[in-house]
Amino acid sequence: ERLGPGRGFDAGKRSWNFPDPWPGGAWGLPDIVEYQEAGALALLTNAAKNRRFWLENFYGINRRAVEGWDEWPDWWIIPAGQQNTPGVDYAVRVLTMADVEVHRAEADFTVGALTFPAGSYVIPMRQPYASFANTMLEVQYYPDLREYPGGPPQRPYDVTAHTLGYLLDFDAVAVDGTISAGLSDPVDVPDFDFALPPHLQGEDVPRVALYKSWDEPMTEGWQRWVFDQHAMPYDTLHDEDVQGGALDRYDVLIFQAQSASSILDGFDEGEVPPQYAGGLGPVGAAAVAAFVEGGGRVIAVEQATDFVRDLFDLDITDVTERLPDTDFYIPGSILRLELEESLIAEGMQDEVAAWYWRSSMAYEVADQRIRVLARYGAGDPLLSGWVLGGEHVAGQPAILEATVGEGSVVLFGFQPNYRAQTMATWPLLFNAIRK
C-alpha cells in the first residue's frame, strides 16, 4: 500500500515502462516467489529463443572493447610501493574477479614523462573488459542536468561516483604510449586479509556494541559486514538490551546512520508484531546518556548524530538542512576531507576521500565542548561525481568529538562505510573506537 512515485516511474500507475502495477490487496511470500520465478523464466526463455542475437551482440561488444575507444587511455598503471597496500590488493581483486586482465611490470619503465617501478600493476585497455576497468579507475564527471532551466536537478537513479582509487585510497594513473618493460602473464585473483589496527588487537581492547534497531537501516548491516570481515569482536544490542542495562558491559556504543525518530520510536504498534514495535524510548535514551556520562563513548554516523545532539543538548546544526535542492545537491559523490591532528587521524595522510550523499551533513558548531576533527575540503571539495552548491559544505566541520561527563561522543557527518566499499575512511571509524 506504500507504493508511490519513484525515479522514472510511478509504481501505482500503469505506464509504458511499468505495464502491470500491483492493484493492491494481500501480498505474501508465495506472491513474492511467484513474481521472482516469472521474471527468471521470462529472462531464460528470451535468451533461449534469441540466442544468436544475444551471442552476436556480446561478441560485438567485446570486439569493440579490444579495438579500443578514442577516449580511453592506452594503459592504466597502479604504481608499486604505495602506502596503502591493502587498498591496492583489494582493487586488483575487484578487477580480476570481473575478468579484467592485470599484469605486473618486470622492470622499471617510463611512459611519456612518468617513470614507474618494477612490480607496478599494468592494465592494457585493449581487452574485452577494458570498459569495466576504465569505469572503475577513472574520475567521474557527472553532468549538471536540470528538470528545466533554473529548476531542480534531475535526480539520478543512484550515486554518481565510484572511483576505486578514492574509495580504497590508492593511486592509479592513465597513460598513453608504449611500455618497454616485459609484462607478466595476467595475475590470478589475489587473496585478501582484512587487518585490524594495532589498538584493536590483543586482550585489552575496547568492548564494542553495535546498536541494531528493529527498524533496521542498511548501514548497520554494512557495518556488521566490515567488522565480521576483520574478525573484530563486537556484540549487537537491541532496544531491550539497552533498556535492560547491557551497556554496563561495554566501552563503545555505535549508532550507524539512522534518524533520531527511528532510534527512539521505531515501528508503530500494529505496524509489525508486538515484539518488534517501539524503539529505545525514554528508558533506553536515559541508559545511553548514563553510559556516556559514566565514561563510555558513543560513535554516531550521519542522521544518528541528531539523536546524540538532542540527548546531550549539543549546540550544532546541519548547514545544509534547509537548503533547497536548486542550491545544494549531492546525490552520492566523493569529496576531499581535511583531517586535523588527532587520534582519529592516526596513521593517515592530511587529506582523504570521503563519501557524501543524501543523508550526509556539514556542521555548524557553537559549543565549547566540541572539537572539530575533520572538515570538508576548502575551495572546491569535489573529487569525483556531482556537486551542486559545494561552497555550502566547503571548509565545514565533518567529524566532531565532544566530552560529556566522564565520557565522549564522536559524530561523523559523512558515511565512513558506504556499502562497505570506502576503505579509505574505515581507519577513521576504527580509530574512533577507543576506551
What's the pLDDT score for residue 157?
83
pLDDT at 366: 96
What are the C-alpha distances in Å from 317 to residues 387, 398, 401?
Answer: 21, 12, 14
Is residue 95 predicted with pLDDT exceeding 80? yes
Q: Helix 51-67 to helix 130-137 angle, to the nearest 10 degrees?
A: 60
Question: Using 50, 70 and 90 to split pLDDT, how confident is the model at 150?
Answer: confident
Q: What is the DSSP string of 309-377?
A: HHHHT--EEETTTT--TTT-B-SSEEEEEEEPSSGGGTT--SEEEEEE-TT---EEE--TTEEEEEEEP
Query: Integer distance in angstroms from the first to the last C-alpha of the chain?
Result: 46
What is the reported pLDDT for 310? 98
For 238-279, what is each residue's pLDDT tens digit? 999 999 999 999 999 999 999 999 999 999 999 999 999 999
Distances (CA, A) of 376 to 351, 402, 414: 10, 19, 10
Residue range 315-321: average pLDDT? 97
Mean per-residue pLDDT for 347-363? 97
**Contact, 95 vs 103, CB < 8 A?**
no
DSSP helix/strand/coil, 191: coil
Number of other CB atoms surrounding residue 58 within 10 Å: 11
Rounded mean pLDDT, 208-235: 97
Sign of CA dihedral 101, 105, 109, 114: positive
Angle between helices 51-67 and 29-49 (to 10 degrees): 80
Percentage of the chain lying above the pLDDT 70 cut: 99
Question: Residues 77-104: what's their mean pLDDT?
Answer: 97
Output the pLDDT for position 152: 86
Across the chain, mean pLDDT equals 95
- pLDDT value for 2: 67
Q: What is the mean pLDDT of residues 381-402?
A: 98
pTM listed for this prediction:
0.92
**CA distances to 2, 11, 15, 115, 157 from 19, in Å:** 18, 10, 5, 56, 20
pLDDT at 205 exceeding the cut of 80: yes
Q: What is the pLDDT of residue 23?
A: 82
Beta-sheet pairing, 316-318 with 297-301 = unpaired
- Report whether pLDDT(147) > 80: yes
Whether 326 has a pLDDT exceeding 80, the answer reads yes
Average pLDDT over residues 217-235: 97
When pLDDT is cut at 50, 70 and 90, the band that residue 3 belongs to is confident
Q: What is the pLDDT of residue 293?
A: 98
What pLDDT sits at residue 282?
A: 98
| Out of 5-14, 15-24, 361-370, 388-397, least confident range | 5-14
Inform me whether the pLDDT recorded for 17 exceeds 80.
Answer: no
Q: Look at residue 327 and tell me whether its pLDDT is greater than 80.
A: yes
Q: Does residue 272 contact residue 309 with C-beta atoms inside 8 Å?
A: no
pLDDT higher than threshold 80 for residue 5? no
Split at pLDDT 50, 70, 90, the class of 7 is low
Taking 70 as the threshold, does the pLDDT of residue 8 lie above it? Answer: no
> How many C-beta atoms lie closer than 10 Å to residue 269's C-beta?
10
Does 191 or 80 have the greater pLDDT score? Answer: 80
Q: For 146-168, what is the mean pLDDT?
A: 92
The pairing of strands 208-211 and 121-124 is unpaired
* pLDDT for position 1: 58
Q: Which residue has the cell 585473483?
A: 189
Structural domains in the chain plus CATH codes: 1-49 (no CATH), 68-175 (no CATH), 198-432 (3.40.50.880)
4-8, 279-283, 335-339, 392-396 — which is least confidently predicted?
A: 4-8
- Tell me the per-residue pLDDT of 33-88, one tens digit each, with 9 for 90 and over: 999 999 999 999 999 999 999 999 999 999 999 998 999 999 999 999 999 999 99
- pLDDT of 6 over the 80 cut: no
Report the largest interatomic distance among the alpha carbons of the chain, rounded to a whole angstrom: 71
